[in-house]
Amino acid sequence: MTNLTDLGIAAIRDGFKAGDFTARDVASAFNDAVAGAKALNAFIVETPEIALAAADQADKDRAAGTLKPLSGVPIGMKDLFATKDVQTTAASHILEGFVPQYESTVSGKLWNAGAGMLGKLNLDQFAMGSSNETSFFGNVISPWRRNNGDTAALAPGGSSGGTSSAIAARLVPGATGTDTGGSIRQPAAFTGISGIKPTYGRCSRWGIVAFASSLDQAGPMARDVRDCAILLENMAGFDPKDSTSLDLAVPNWEAALSSDLKGKRVGIPKEYRVDGMPAEIDALWEQGIAWLKDAGAEIVNVSLPHTQYALPAYYIIAPAEASSNLARYDGVRYGLRDLPDGANLQDMYAATRAAGFGDEVKRRILIGTYVLSAGFYDAYYTQAQKVRTLIARDFDQAWEKCDLLLTPTAPSAAFGLGEKSDDPLAMYLNDVFTVPTSLAGLPAMSVPGGLDALGLPLGLQIIGKALDEQTVLNAGLAIEERAGFTARADKWW
Amino acid sequence: MSESTYRIQGTTGEWEVVIGLEVHAQVTSNSKLFSGAAASFGAEPNTQVSLVDAAMPGMLPVPNAECIRQAVRTGIAIDAQINRWSRFDRKNYFYADLPQGYQISQLYHPLVGEGHLDIDADEKAGILEAKRIGVERIHVEQDAGKLMHDQHPTRSYVDLNRSGVALMEIVSRPDMTSPAEAGAYLRKLRAILRYVGSCDGNMEEGSMRADVNVSVRRAGEELGTRTETKNVNSVRFVMQAIEHEANRQVDVLEAGGKIVQETRLFNPDTGTTRSMRSKEDAHDYRYFPDPDLLPLELTEAFVEECRASLLELPDAKRARYVDVLGISAYNAAVLTAEVETARWFEALLKEGAEAKQAANWVMSELFGALNRLGKSIEDSPVSPAQAAELLTLVTDGTLSGSLAKQVFEKMLETGDSAGTIVERDGLKQTSDTGAIEAVIADVLAKNPGQLEQYRSGKEALFGFFVGQTMKAMAGKANPAVVNELLKKALG
Amino acid sequence: MSVDHATVRKIASLARIAVTDDQVEAMVPELNNILGWIEQLGEVDTSAVQPMTAVIPNVLRLRDDVVTDGDVRDAVLKNAPQAEQGFFTVPKVIE
């Protein structure tokens, strides 16, 4: 029998439906994989019993003929989604021990669709980071290693590092991530898997620990494009509890998947060719262009003139929103409370938040507080929101000449843990290709394109028009079929 | 802008007072502004709290149509500009009654723009003529929860029931110049809110609170630094707070000091204001647009429905009572001061009562009885229909004025209708000329001395004879007929 | 714009995060590095542009005025660090 953990979501779903194996077998196999992979530190909490319970229900449903879209499929859940009666921490000490009495809309949809939960996946604290080095529960380690004998622990990308690591290591067939400035796409690129950030408003934010409200989006990560489409269909949809949710029907993305790009124009934005870009990444980009051409697309050069301002704008807007969103973590109603002797209420706040938040979180809260403060609001925040309008306009103008854009996902392959954590600014530059799309709210996906000279995955990013996830997925599929990416990390854990 | 005659007499001369009021009015609605929890008063702690109100991780706000509607209706009632496009902003600060660590409010683009309301002249109070007080804006925002400090020696208790209830913040222009003007403004505003039905205006229960901004200056000078006295919860206290604060400021300035721009609290027991104890500098609220909400856009149909839903407002009603119904200006003002009174009065008119008669009767008889019994007009033991019947019995001559008073007393005691009482107790007035003539003759015969005096010119004794006649007939004689027949008998 | 020690302390106070002297010392250059990099936004001519209000066109929906929530005190207090008689408790505040 095939190693069950080598199966992706579609294969599990269809094989289970066809009677090839029981759901319990699948859940057990993945539970074992999870249990044996503690060295990766991909999970904050493992929930094997919950996975088995869902599997048992799936087996029952199969017998009764009442199968659901994801019956038999166990997945991982990024620990940013509130899960009822299961600890949810956002990888922070300030929420350690917090057990929500409610389920996030997105995770609830997945469980209602029949999926089971293998555990809560580690992440950068409050989704702030690009290497999963800011978690209170320790770094996540990528299953990948350089092929030159170097056993340095590599970053799985961030903030959805637990997700990317777990999928790449076959601990889960697929999982949820969230993307605010690239936190689905960049970890997907670092670990050779696929991930899509949908149009802003496609997935409900209700019950997801908020980082930057105007940017956060939930999305699926899995080993191929079809699996991403399947998961996304079961995550997306209008939620009246989220005022920013889009009241639109969920398209049948999986059914409409097609790698035929005839009639599509692919834009290549010149500003994404940055100084000092590694030659391998440039080469992969060219390769990607060729693949899409081969799939029938026309290639067009376009310009997105304000690209270089996207990162600084993002690092004003996101911290500003975060500084306000994280004000609720104050030790009064839940989470950590640090009450030194003789402390009054305001002292309690200051002590709790000092003890509870990690350094990067504090840094961003301080920046956010500063840029919103009296005297600086116009110069920073208002200016950043205006630049954001210009960035969105750049894309609108590009759409006159093309239907999608192709770029690299990240400016490098996975770096070693600790290599960039001394310089926050260096870390922020990881997001240079992903942030513009976040600011414009557009759908974007990363698919693996190949390996670099050290055997580490490199990803290609497809950006689409608002609400056109289909074209994004289709282009992703076109690349996937041609890239023939079958590399996987050798098991060292 | 007209000013009142109110001045603070300092040691160095006279000072004027400049007053602005920010009123927080809780919106009458079933659920809260951004959450579906109930917005009512008096429930067990933390039972009217949703996860959104408790600011759990991942919670999001969804606005309540009725709260927006009530604010728009209120804006229309004060002739204000209704902004078709407005936005919610976060006001960021830390306090235990503010679970999110920010209040969702509207700073940059409020729902309602400039409007006004008019207060009456009141010479006794130094308001020489009717005055228009400007309103700068009305915006909607969340109320905070409640902190209680007396339950425990070292702990404060937090109840979030009120957290998230919709408030209208109604900001006046600094157009008031005396405690009396401020009091008149508040009373008028409260009446309008109750007429509109957007807030019950109950200051004791906290559904309407005032923040009082006060500064002083010498005539002709620039505006002085103002202080803000927060959460004053009665009209009387607002007036006291202004008086105290203005005098305090004058004392400070005349002693060579400066007014610190600060927040103060009013102590109703001592009638004084004191600075709120706080370690930090002036708050920096870091307002920015709430990214969980989109801009609020009102359709014309929505605004039209708000306008159409408004019933006659106090000023228009008062004018109509005077111009159309012929009621005196004073009576009209009193009858329209509260929406419940006007409602009761108009129900009385609908039952067929004549306006002027009804007005007089309500003002003297009904109000007198309600005061005595300690009841509000909504709890009147006598209904408009019953009152109408009583008034008809006067109009058709069955009852004299004084008999009507007697009947009314019995109506209050027994709950029976006027007609029933008149029949049962035989309280009809009689116009039987024969009977009255006989009694008059008897009275004159029994009082020869007074008759002599009257005939010699002491005309005031006419009243004596009327009184004696009425007494002899147990008050049931028709006074007009008595007058007529007595005149004949006396020659 | 750059920050000094006093500014960092002030921001930390606004954000209610206690900071030690060492931390302030370390943060000043760190924050200035980031803020210096952000400065470049000032180069962009935004005179003809409005700030972004909604990333994807959407309409703010107003919900009906019905009580659909609340009465979940147990859930609300479940994770409270300290609660008594149905209230959250905090160190006594003097107003």
Q: Which residues of C10-40 are buried (b: 16+ CB within 10 A; e: fewer)?
A: bbbbbbbbbbeeebbeebbebbeebbebbee
Q: How confident is the model at residue B355 (pLDDT cuts 50, 70, 90)?
A: very high
Residues 6+ away with beta carbon under 8 Å from B491 = B455
| CA–CA dist A304, A398 (Å, integer) | 7
Residue B301 in this model has a pLDDT that exceeds 90: yes
Q: What is the mean pLDDT of residues B126-131?
A: 90
What value, to the nearest 5°, has the Cα angle with vertex A14 and ends A10 and A19?
150
Note the ipTM here. 0.96
**Is the distance from CB of B141 to CB of B106 less than 8 angstroms?**
yes
Residues 6+ away with beta carbon under 8 Å from A380 = A316, A320, A370, A371, A372, C38, C41
What is the domain-level CATH number for residue C36? 1.10.20
Q: How confident is the model at residue B27 (pLDDT cuts 50, 70, 90)?
A: very high
The pTM assigned to this predicted structure is 0.93
Query: Which residues of chain A have a Cβ shorter than 8 Å from any chain B Cβ?
Result: 81-82, 88, 90, 95, 98, 100-102, 104, 205-210, 212-214, 240-244, 320-321, 323-324, 326-328, 330, 332-334, 345-346, 349, 369, 372-374, 377, 381
Q: Give the residue with greater pLDDT, B185 vs B151.
A: B185
Decide if B101 and A207 are in contact by the 8 Å CB cutoff: no
Decide if A324 and B158 are in contact by the 8 Å CB cutoff: no
DSSP assignment, residue B377?
A: G
| Other CB atoms within 10 A of residue A28 CB | 17
Residue C16 in this model has a pLDDT that exceeds 60: yes
What value, to the nearest 5°, has the Cα angle with vertex B389 and ends B388 and B390?
90
Residue B389 in this model has a pLDDT that exceeds 90: yes
Residue B280 in this model has a pLDDT that exceeds 70: no
Closest by CA to A208, choosing from A122, A145, A127, is A127
What value, to the nearest 5°, has the Cα angle with vertex A333 and ends A327 and A334?
90
Q: Is residue C71 part of a domain?
A: no
- Sort out which chain C residues have CB atoms less than 8 A from B64's CB and list them: 62-63, 65
Q: What is the mean pLDDT of residues B147-171?
A: 95
Decide if B286 and A372 are in contact by the 8 Å CB cutoff: yes
- Digit-coded pLDDT (tens) for C19-66: 999 999 999 999 999 999 999 999 999 999 999 988 888 899 999 999
| CA–CA dist A131, A141 (Å, integer) | 9
Chain A contact present for C48, CB below 8 A: no
Closest by CA to A119, choosing from A206, A224, A35, is A35
| CA–CA dist A362, A352 (Å, integer) | 12
Percent of chain B with pLDDT over 90: 74
Q: What does the pLDDT profile of chain A (493 residues) look like in tens digits?
A: 569 999 999 999 999 999 999 999 999 999 999 999 999 999 999 999 999 999 999 999 999 999 999 999 999 999 999 999 999 999 999 999 999 999 999 999 999 999 999 999 999 999 999 999 999 999 999 999 999 999 999 999 999 999 999 999 999 999 999 999 999 999 999 999 999 999 999 999 999 999 999 999 999 999 999 999 999 999 999 999 999 999 999 999 999 999 999 999 999 999 999 888 899 999 999 999 999 999 999 999 999 999 999 999 999 999 999 999 999 999 999 999 999 998 999 999 999 999 999 999 999 999 999 999 988 888 899 999 999 999 999 999 999 999 999 999 999 999 999 998 788 888 888 899 999 999 999 999 999 999 999 999 999 999 999 999 999 999 999 999 999 999 999 999 9
E strand intervals along A5-82: 43-46, 74-78
In the block, tokens 């002297």 appear at C21
Residue B491, token pair as written in the block = 């020659």
Window from A161-170, B280-289, C72-81 with minimum mean pLDDT: B280-289
Cα B424 from chain centre = 40
Widest CA span of chain C, in angstroms? 58
- Digit-coded pLDDT (tens) for A150-185: 999 999 999 999 999 999 999 999 999 999 999 999
Closest by CA to A165, choosing from A212, A124, A201, is A124
Strands B14-26 and B166-172: antiparallel
Q: How confident is the model at residue B2 (pLDDT cuts 50, 70, 90)?
A: low
Q: A159: cis peptide before it, omega within 30°?
A: yes
- Sort out which chain C residues have CB atoms less than 8 A from A353's CB and list them: 15-18
Q: Is residue C69 part of a domain?
A: no
Residue-level pLDDT at A27: 98
Residue-level pLDDT at B23: 98
Residue B212 in this model has a pLDDT that exceeds 90: yes
In the block, tokens 């009065």 appear at B345
Residue-level pLDDT at A2: 64
Decide if A205 and B156 are in contact by the 8 Å CB cutoff: no
Q: How do the domains of chain A map onto residue ranges?
A: 4-260
**Is the distance from CB of A98 to CB of A89 less than 8 angstroms?**
yes
Chain C contact present for A303, CB below 8 A: no
With 0-12 CB in 10 A as exposed, 13-18 as middle and 19+ as buried, what is B269? Answer: exposed
Identify residue B303 by its one-letter amino acid code. Answer: V
In the block, tokens 């005061």 appear at B371
Q: How far is B318 from chain C (nearest CA, A)?
A: 33
Residues 6+ away with beta carbon under 8 Å from C22 = none
Residue-level pLDDT at B245: 96
Q: How confident is the model at residue B279 (pLDDT cuts 50, 70, 90)?
A: very low
**Is the distance from CB of A189 to CB of A457 less than 8 angstroms?**
yes
Q: What is the mean pLDDT of residues B396-421?
A: 89
Q: How many domains does chain C have?
A: 1
Provide the terminal-to-terminal Cα distance of chain C, rounded to the nearest Å: 36
A463 phi and psi, to 5 degrees? -115, 135
Q: What is the mean pLDDT of residues B330-352?
A: 95
Residue-level pLDDT at A463: 98
A382: nearest CA in chain B?
A: B288
Rg, Å, chain A Cα set: 21
DSSP result, B15-59: EEEEEEEEEEEE---SB-SSSSBB--SSPSTTSS--TTTTT-TT-
| CA–CA dist A146, A485 (Å, integer) | 17
| Record: fold of A4-260 | Amidase signature (AS) enzymes (3.90.1300)
Residue-level pLDDT at B203: 94
| CA–CA dist A327, A101 (Å, integer) | 21
Q: How far is A392 from chain C (nearest CA, A)?
A: 8
Catalytic machinery residues of A: 78, 159, 183
Q: Give domain B433-490's CATH number out of 3.30.56.10, 1.20.58.110, 3.40.50.20, 1.10.10.410.
A: 1.10.10.410
Residue-level pLDDT at B216: 96
Q: Could you list the residue range(s) of the whole structural domain that residue C21 is in? A: 5-42
Chain B contact present for C74, CB below 8 A: no
Q: How confident is the model at residue B1 (pLDDT cuts 50, 70, 90)?
A: low
- Digit-coded pLDDT (tens) for B417-463: 999 998 888 888 888 888 888 998 998 899 888 888 888 888 888 88
Residue-level pLDDT at A129: 93
**Is the distance from CB of B167 to CB of B139 less than 8 angstroms?**
no
**Is the distance from CB of C65 to CB of B66 less than 8 angstroms?**
yes
DSSP assignment, residue A223?
A: S
